[in-house]
């Protein structure tokens, strides 16, 4: 139990945890099931190229997402590149795709990698999601598509974005990398817009080591994407599209299936942790857990808080140092908006105030099946003590010899 700042490890106290609590520990599921699947893969000597486990994984993801087609791929970034490429087949280099300012850099990179220009849109200050009210002003004759991002599993305002995309005849995609298992109302994330993309990276709620999927109800699009994923080969073995190699392999599918088996347990555990965080941080001024819209279901795979520097006298980055000294490896997700990334620095971009403010405040705390309610209580204790002595922590921190990240 921490009482004063002298108890904080950064100031000489004993660290709250002996072992690291990281953000994004993998949800591996039942090891014996994974090994049993791997034995089947090795016995069958079918390691890649649309094997039986990939097939089973695609069927289960499509069912979970409530869509007709799941095209599994090697990661979500390549999946986004494939969709941007599909939107731009009739276009020219320099065409534009509208993306939110607050997302993982892969969303912007996927656009630029296909020779298009990411046009960055500000976000809603409460949710961090793309603000549909600001999208229309960014549409030009060169706009090809809009990519919404279901940040931390929160559903975008899909209906308003669909209306805008319809009205201007634009493709609408969703980067749903963090949103497998989440819903918009009662409808699973997966069937909105022209297509949605999931990630099965090791840190996501379901992991396949590395992996991703494009889900859609569009039969023709799914057919093109299946060809693109496999060097452009169509069903008859002729090359029909400019292809790449984006296939998911059988070992990845074995992990994906095993991790998927554990999804409901993972969600239940995450939800309990979320409630514990909410009640334990309720009295801590200036540190606010992200509020989720109760109409939508969230997997609570991300324990997000905002740290209000002026209110606490404690900048997010100072709190990050306090936590890391306790072996609580929190993460500043996201610390840089897309229009401030070096490749996309654009003098013509106006300031995007909400995204910029959030980037200085957001903090992801550890959660997941390996983080117990007791662990969450200990983490919140540290946050409470640091926030209660914000100016003192900041001042001592500035004077002290340790660390680097003070701003
Ligand atoms: C994780 C993530 C990605 C990248 O997924 P990969 O499978 O690692 O390529 C893209 N966008 C968002 C919003 C993400 O959270």
Q: How far apart are CA 363 and CA 290, in angstroms?
A: 10
Q: 357 or 401: which carries more pLDDT confidence?
A: 357
Burial 151-172 (b: 16+ CB within 10 A, else e): bbbbbbbbeebbebbeeeebbb
Contact 188, 65 (CB under 8 A): yes
**What is the Cα 404 distance to its own chain's centre?**
27
Contact 301, 367 (CB under 8 A): yes
Q: Is 104 in the pocket of ligand 1 (CB under 6 A)?
A: yes
Distance 82 CA to ligand 1 centre (A): 14
Distance 103 CA to ligand 1 centre (A): 9
Indicate the pLDDT class of residue 187, thresholds 50, 70 and 90: very high
Nearest atom in ligand 1 to 151's CA: 13
What is the rounded average pLDDT of the residues 120-132? 97
What is the rounded average pLDDT of the residues 164-193? 98
Contact 378, 277 (CB under 8 A): no
Can you list the domains of the chain with their CATH numbers?
5-23+262-330+366-399 (3.90.1150.10), 31-261 (3.40.640.10)
- Residue with CA closest to ligand 1 atom 6: 76
Distance 37 CA to ligand 1 centre (A): 26
**What sign does the CA torsion over 170, 171, 174, 175 have?**
negative
pLDDT digits (tens, 9 = 90+) for 231-268: 999 999 999 999 999 999 999 999 999 999 999 999 99
Q: How far apart are CA 253 and CA 301, in angstroms?
A: 21
| pLDDT for residue 287 is more than 70 | yes
Report field, pTM of the whole predicted structure over 0.85: yes
pLDDT digits (tens, 9 = 90+) for 17-64: 999 999 999 999 999 999 999 999 999 999 999 999 999 999 999 999
| pLDDT for residue 139 is more than 80 | yes
Indicate the pLDDT class of residue 404, thresholds 50, 70 and 90: very low
- Pairing mode, strands 362-365 and 212-216: unpaired
Nearest atom in ligand 1 to 75's CA: 7
Indicate the pLDDT class of residue 400, thresholds 50, 70 and 90: low
Look at residue 212 in the predicted model and tell me its pLDDT.
98
Look at residue 401 in the predicted model and tell me its pLDDT.
52
- Residue with CA closest to ligand 1 atom 1: 177
pLDDT digits (tens, 9 = 90+) for 299-333: 999 999 999 999 999 999 999 999 999 999 999 99
Nearest atom in ligand 1 to 178's CA: 15
- Pairing mode, strands 96-100 and 143-149: parallel
Q: Using most ligand atoms within 8 A of CB, pick from 199, 204, 205, 304 the residue to mutate for ligand 1.
A: 199
Indicate the pLDDT class of residue 406, thresholds 50, 70 and 90: very low
Distance 199 CA to ligand 1 centre (A): 6
Q: Is 177 in the pocket of ligand 1 (CB under 6 A)?
A: yes
| pLDDT for residue 295 is more than 80 | yes
Distance 395 CA to ligand 1 centre (A): 37
Nearest C-alpha neighbor of 393 from the set 335, 328, 325: 325
Indicate the pLDDT class of residue 194, thresholds 50, 70 and 90: very high
Look at residue 348 in the predicted model and tell me its pLDDT.
66
Give the chain's mean pLDDT: 95
Distance 77 CA to ligand 1 centre (A): 6
What is the rounded average pLDDT of the residues 165-184? 98
Give me the residues paired with residue 130 across strands: 123
């Amino acid at each position: 139990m921490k009482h004063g700042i002298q108890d904080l490890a950064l100031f000489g106290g004993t660290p709250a945890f002996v072992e690291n609590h990281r953000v994004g520990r993998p949800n591996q599921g039942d090891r014996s099931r994974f090994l049993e699947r791997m034995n089947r893969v090795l016995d069958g000597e079918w390691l890649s190229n649309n094997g039986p486990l990939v097939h089973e994984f695609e069927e289960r993801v499509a069912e979970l997402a409530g869509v007709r087609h799941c095209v599994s791929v090697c990661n979500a970034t390549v999946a986004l590149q494939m969709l941007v490429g599909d939107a731009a087949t009739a276009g020219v280099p320099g065409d534009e795709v509208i993306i939110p300012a607050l997302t993982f850099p892969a969303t912007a990179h996927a656009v630029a990698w296909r020779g298009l220009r990411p046009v960055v849109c500000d976000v809603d200050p409460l949710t961090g999601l793309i603000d549909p009210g600001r999208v229309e002003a960014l549409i030009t004759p060169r706009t090809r598509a809009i990519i919404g991002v279901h940040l931390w599993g929160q559903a975008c305002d899909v209906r308003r974005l669909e209306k805008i995309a319809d009205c201007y005849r634009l493709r609408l995609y969703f980067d749903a990398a963090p949103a497998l298992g989440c819903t918009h109302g009662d409808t699973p994330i997966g069937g909105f817009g022209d297509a949605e993309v999931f990630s099965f990276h090791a840190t996501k709620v379901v992991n396949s080591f590395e992996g991703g999927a494009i889900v859609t109800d569009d039969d023709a699009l799914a057919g093109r994407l299946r060809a693109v994923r496999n060097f452009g080969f169509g069903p008859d073995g002729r090359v029909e599209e400019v292809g790449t190699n984006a296939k998911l392999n059988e070992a990845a599918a074995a992990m994906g299936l095993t991790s998927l088996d554990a999804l409901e347990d993972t969600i239940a555990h995450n939800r309990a942790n979320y409630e514990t965080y909410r009640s334990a941080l309720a009295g801590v001024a200036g540190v606010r857990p992200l509020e989720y819209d109760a109409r939508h279901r969230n997997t609570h795979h991300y324990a997000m808080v905002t740290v209000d520097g002026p209110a606490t006298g404690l900048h997010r980055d100072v709190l990050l140092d306090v936590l890391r000294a306790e072996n609580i490896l929190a993460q500043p997700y996201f610390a840089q908006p897309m229009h401030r990334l070096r490749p996309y620095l654009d003098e013509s971009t106006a300031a995007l105030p909400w995204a910029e403010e959030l980037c200085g405040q957001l903090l992801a705390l550890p959660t997941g099946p390996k983080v117990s309610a007791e662990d969450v209580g200990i983490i919140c204790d540290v946050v409470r003590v640091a926030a209660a002595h914000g100016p003192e922590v900041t001042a001592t921190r500035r004077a002290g010899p340790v660390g680097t990240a003070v701003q």
